[in-house]
Amino acid sequence: MPVTLKITSTKPANTQFFGEVSEQNSQMLKTFNEEIRVLPGCVSNAMEVVDNNTRIFTIVFDTVENYANYHEIRTSKLGWAERQEYNLVNGIVSEITETIG
pLDDT tens-place string over residues 67-77: 999 988 877 77
Threshold 0.85, pTM exceeds? yes
pLDDT of residue 78: 65
pLDDT tens-place string over residues 45-98: 999 999 999 999 999 999 999 999 998 887 777 678 888 999 999 999 999 999
61, 42 contact by CB (below 8 A):
yes
Query: Max alpha carbon distance in the chain (Å)?
Result: 40
Cα dihedral 72, 62, 35, 18 sign: negative
Could you tell me the CATH number of the domain that includes residue 21?
Answer: 3.30.70.100
Cβ atoms within 10 Å, residue 67: 22
Cβ atoms within 10 Å, residue 11: 20
Contacts of 94 (CB under 8 A, 6+ apart): 7, 8, 9, 10, 87
pLDDT of residue 80: 80
- Going by the DSSP 8-state scheme, the letter that residue 92 receives in this structure is -
pLDDT of residue 29: 83
**Euclidean distance between CA atoms 38 and 86, whole angstroms:** 27
Contacts of 30 (CB under 8 A, 6+ apart): 19
Band of the pLDDT at 35, cuts 50, 70, 90? confident
Between 93 and 26, name the one with better pLDDT: 93
Look up the domain containing 22 and give its range.
Answer: 3-100
Q: Looking at the 3D structure of the chain, how many domains does it have?
A: 1
